[in-house]
Amino acid sequence: MQTPTLFALLLLLVLVAYGTGFSRAIATARSRGGVRSLASLPNYYGVHTALWCGLPALVILGLWMLFDDAIIRTLVLGGVADKPETISGQNLLYAQIQNLAAGNLIGATTPQIQAAADHLVSLRQSGRWMQTTITLILAAGLGVYTLLRISPELRAREKVEKVLRIILLACACAAIFTTVGILMSVLFESLRFFQSVPVTEFLFGLHWSPQMALRSDQVGSSGAFGAVPLFTGTLMVSAIAMFVAVPVGLMSAIYLAEYAGNKVRAFAKPLIEILAGVPTVVYGFFAALTVAPFVREVAQSMGMEASSESALAAGLVMGVMIIPFVSSLSDDVINAVPQSLRDGALGLGSTKSETVRKVVIPAALPGIVGGVLLAVSRAIGETMIVVMAAGLAANLTANPLESVTTVTVQIVTLLVGDQEFDSPKTLAAFALGLMLFISTLILNFIALHVVKKYREQYD
């Protein structure tokens, strides 16, 4: 049976289990004087039966699908008499067998491979048959067993809630394990990188030129992996972006939260949030084709030298991109300041602006700071705009009119194209990713801490 059909059948069984569990609970309660004599509501007996019917079968099915291929492969290759010694040779052979079994391979085959392919097909068929039988028998068996155990004394609600708690825990763990997994994969690749390039050179080197020749006798056979220009570039672009986004975002939030009438607010807030929906690639076009030339022209008209791709152009557009982020977070925080504080200030004869400046903003400040720090981590992680508008040259410069490059841009360029996966050039991307991960992690940590520490101040 095909897997989707099996799933559908399983779902049907679960529904039946729920229904029979529910009605059996009511039936057993009838002789004892109604539903009130049950330890839990009849609903919970249904869910209890359904869970026992569905969950173990699903787990078995999932495990089966996970290890199915590996087991079949071992069995098939074990049946081949003279198989190659190397793993890549075995992979090739197995691919051949698979293709033959699927009917894709046209051409000469040895009888041995033909036999292995037949073996594979038969294994797959019997495997699928076993899978179907085991899953359904398990589901039906456990369902019936649970059904038979239903009695008014069975505390179905407690059991159901226990299972639900485990499911919730599993979901929470999924996010945590993903983070740990990402960190681990980046960490191990970085460690390999640091075997060929010393950590100190990476952290404090002033020159970035990640060229690694394939052969040692080629030109530029040794690269330079000093990440300082990348981090200064990232810092400069992010700083310019925050310079745009924080004042504009904050002030628009103040306007929306404190001054705008309901009509203006209903109209302006979604419009500002549209900015957040623009894909970053589109911002990238805008930065590269409109803002960067404009910046250069303005700089030249003032007698300054400006390159066609500049940190300023990328930073300005990135700032615009972050405006809705800052404004919507600040807007929420400002709205959360209790009206009683505003009334208190107005009641003392403050003007509207005094109330905003001296009472509302100080009260909302922790939240605003938290929002801004989150926006900073967003700016640091932003890639597309910088790729298109800031350039690729790793200049160590403090002049925003020159082209710079950022950590994220370099990660992209290092990993795009054909390369060996174990050369320092490629591995450098992981080291950069690790650094980026750590710095945004620290920023997020600080942001959350600031928000948490001052959150209850006005309650």
Partner 1 sequence: MSTMTLNAGEAVPAQKEATQPVAEQTEVKSRAANPNSQVDGTVGSPFCDDAKLRMRNVNVFYGESQAIHDVSLDIGRNQVVAMIGPSGCGKSTFLRCLNRMNDTIEGCRVEGELSLDGEAIYGPKVDVVPLRARVGMVFQKPNPFPKSIYDNVAYGPKIHGIASRRAELDEIVENSLRRAGLWNEVKDRLDKPGTGLSGGQQQRLCIARAIAVSPEVILMDEPCSALDPIATARIEELIDELRENYTIAIVTHSMQQAARVSQRTAYFHLGKLVEVNDTETVFTNPEHDLTEAYITGRFG
The residues of the shown chain that bind partner 1, judged by CB under 8 A, are: 261-262, 338, 340-351, 354, 358-359, 362-363, 457-459
* Closer by beta carbon to partner 1, 295 or else 337: 337
* Closer by beta carbon to partner 1, 342 or else 425: 342
DSSP 151-216: -TT--HHHHHHHHHHHHHHHHHHHHHHHHHHHHHHHHHHHHHHHHHS-HHHHHH---EE----SST
User: Angle 279-283-286 (CA atoms, 0-180°, nearest 5)?
Assistant: 140
* Closer by beta carbon to partner 1, 185 or else 351: 351
Beta bridge partners of 225: 208
Q: How far apart are CA 413 and CA 268, in angstroms?
A: 39
* Closer by beta carbon to partner 1, 296 or else 342: 342
* Closer by beta carbon to partner 1, 236 or else 364: 364
* Minimum separation from the CB atom of position 265 to partner 1 (A): 11
* Minimum separation from the CB atom of position 331 to partner 1 (A): 18
* Closer by beta carbon to partner 1, 181 or else 338: 338
Q: Which of 408, 251, 254, 450 is nearest to 342 (CA)?
A: 254
* Minimum separation from the CB atom of position 340 to partner 1 (A): 4
DSSP 228-297: HHHHHHHHHHHHHHHHHHHHHHHHHHHIIIII--HHHHHHHHHHHHHHHHS-HHHHHHIIIIIIHHHHHH
Kindly give, in sequence order, each residue whose CB lies less than 8 Å from that of residue 316, ignoring residues fewer than 6 positions away. 240, 241, 244, 287, 291, 295
* Minimum separation from the CB atom of position 454 to partner 1 (A): 9
* Minimum separation from the CB atom of position 353 to partner 1 (A): 10
Strand (E) or helix (H) holding 317: helix 311-336
Sign, CA dihedral 369-370-372-373, equals positive
* Closer by beta carbon to partner 1, 201 or else 332: 332
* Minimum separation from the CB atom of position 348 to partner 1 (A): 4
* Closer by beta carbon to partner 1, 277 or else 349: 349
Q: How far apart are CA 24 and CA 352, in angstroms?
A: 67
Tokens of 18: 């729920």
Q: Tell me the backbone φ, ψ of residue 40, rounded to 5 degrees.
A: -135, 170
* Minimum separation from the CB atom of position 358 to partner 1 (A): 7
Distances from the Cα of 211 to the Cα of 81, 215, 230, 403, 405, angstroms: 46, 12, 15, 20, 16
* Minimum separation from the CB atom of position 185 to partner 1 (A): 44
* Closer by beta carbon to partner 1, 173 or else 348: 348
Q: How far apart are CA 210 and CA 88, in angstroms?
A: 30
DSSP, res 118: H
Instruction: Compute the 3-state secondary structure of the chain and give helix, strand, coil in percent, each to the nearest 5.
Output: 80, 0, 20
* Minimum separation from the CB atom of position 337 to partner 1 (A): 9
* Closer by beta carbon to partner 1, 62 or else 338: 338
Tokens of 354: 């005094």
* Minimum separation from the CB atom of position 354 to partner 1 (A): 5
Q: Tell me the backbone φ, ψ of residue 291, rounded to 5 degrees.
A: -75, -45
